[in-house]
Amino acid sequence: MKIKPNDRIVIIGGGFAGMQLVKTLKKAPVRVTLIDKQNFHSFQPLLYQVASARIEPASISFPFRKVFQGYKNFDFRMAEVDKIDTVQKVVFTNDGQVKYDHLVIATGCTTNFFGNDDLKRYTLPMKEMSEAIEIRNRVLLDFEHFANATAEEKERLMNLVIVGAGATGVELSGAFAELKNDILPKDYPKVDFSGMDIILLEGGPHTLGNMSEESKKHSQKYLEELGVRVKTNVILKSYDGNKAVLSNGEVIPCKNLIWSAGVSGNIIHGITASENIVRNRYVVDRYNRIKDSENIYALGDVAYMETPLYPKGHPQVANVAINQGKNLGENFVRSLNEKPLKSYEYKDLGMMATIGKNKAVVDLKHLKFQGFFAWVTWMFLHLMLILSVRNKLIIFINWAWAYITKDTSLRLIFSPKKVENDIPAENHQ
């Protein structure tokens, strides 16, 4: 790593890692270019609340140009990356080329369908804001059409299946269960929601399998109290958009199936040598430099770093991404000042998940707790991570209103306008 004044550092991806790196380099005498296919950063831990109509997308979306106003060394390019030429040091995008002196890949993860094209075609993933909005639209729109649906269609609509009982699956299940229990019956008084099932499928023996035994036990208990049907040690074998076939032979009619069972790193064409990749993550050293490269780095979910404490790589969580971004930025500054670099090691601050009102689980290093206090802790920490004071206030007001009234006023359906391409020639003026 050798950084010189006025070097151009190009960052691909504006997630937690990319954002932190830009912030850390704010006063450094380098040129920073951020490339992202969207013009905003989404706070992913709360995407499930957009999907379940609890908060609006704008509450957890932050335009890059707004966040980095006043950064004299910053430039943004809204573009999709096609490939990278590591010899010429050029990033090729759908909006032109970008040259770099140092390249940082912080592209995060995408949904992993494990090669199953039917799952990719028919299920609803939730890794991006657009996908969370699509889930909200689909579920709400289906109930608008419920009254005129056939008996067979109504049976499919009455089952919402969520695959994967990690934090995302558990939080989604709890949110939709509360939507079913507290809100939908008031919005649709002519529909009997007692027959509606929120079904959570998990291939392992427990919900929240990477947390403590107490959290596993309490999370499943909380879900069942909310009316969620939790099915463990079962795998989804197939789904065709109408029915889910499970490994135990059970068939569940359902129109909407949310897939949260796996993620895969976003690898870029041009840096895909097999010896540099483990489980679709770039192999990096303790300074996040990609193996066999001098000026290309990977951060966060797309980086695979082996350390004594984490011999199989770090967990793909926000804290790792944020701290790797900070450490790399500080090392760039150290290099500019010809100071020794600092290797990275993750300090596990714990894990947490919320299941519903007054229901959450928290695992800290020396303390584990559940229930109301865990729920308050979860809310406080997530609010503190929101970027702007305005958004913190909006989210807090929404949460407080929902807590008091057991209701929200955010159930808007936005469908993209259909464009008619085949207009008869005689209609053109």
DSSP string, 316-373: SSHHHHHHHHHHHHHHHHHHHTT------------EEEEEETTEEEEE-SS-EEESHH
* Helices and strands: H and E segment counts in the chain: 12, 26
**Neighbour-count burial of 396, counting CB atoms closer than 10 A to its CB (0-12 exposed, 13-18 middle, 19+ buried):** middle
- pLDDT digit string, tens, across residues 110-138: 888 888 899 999 999 999 999 999 999 99
Token digits for 347? 């300090």
Task: Give the N- to C-terminal CA distance of the chain in Å, as an integer.
Answer: 62
| pLDDT score of 191 | 85
List the CATH code of the domain at 8-111+263-336: 3.50.50.60
- pLDDT digit string, tens, across residues 230-287: 999 999 999 999 999 999 999 999 999 999 988 888 889 888 766 688 888 999 999 9
Residue count (the chain)? 429
Residue stretches of the chain with pLDDT short of 70: 273-275, 409-410, 414-429
Percent helix, strand, coil in the chain (nearest 5)?
35, 25, 40
Q: Where are the alpha helices (DSSP H) in 366-419?
A: 372-385, 389-405
| pLDDT score of 331 | 96
| pLDDT score of 427 | 43
CB–CB of 85/96 below 8 Å? no
Q: Which of 258, 259, 165, 263 is closest to 209 using CA atoms?
A: 165
At which residue do the structure tokens 């109301």 appear?
Answer: 372
Which fold is adopted by the domain 117-261? FAD/NAD(P)-binding domain (3.50.50)
Q: Where are the domains of the chain?
A: 8-111+263-336, 117-261
| pLDDT score of 274 | 66
Angle between the N-to-C axes of helices 16-24 and 318-336, in degrees from 0 to 180, rounded to the nearest 10:
30
Q: Which of 96, 215, 128 is closest to 166 using CA atoms?
A: 215
Does the pTM surpass 0.85? The reply is: yes
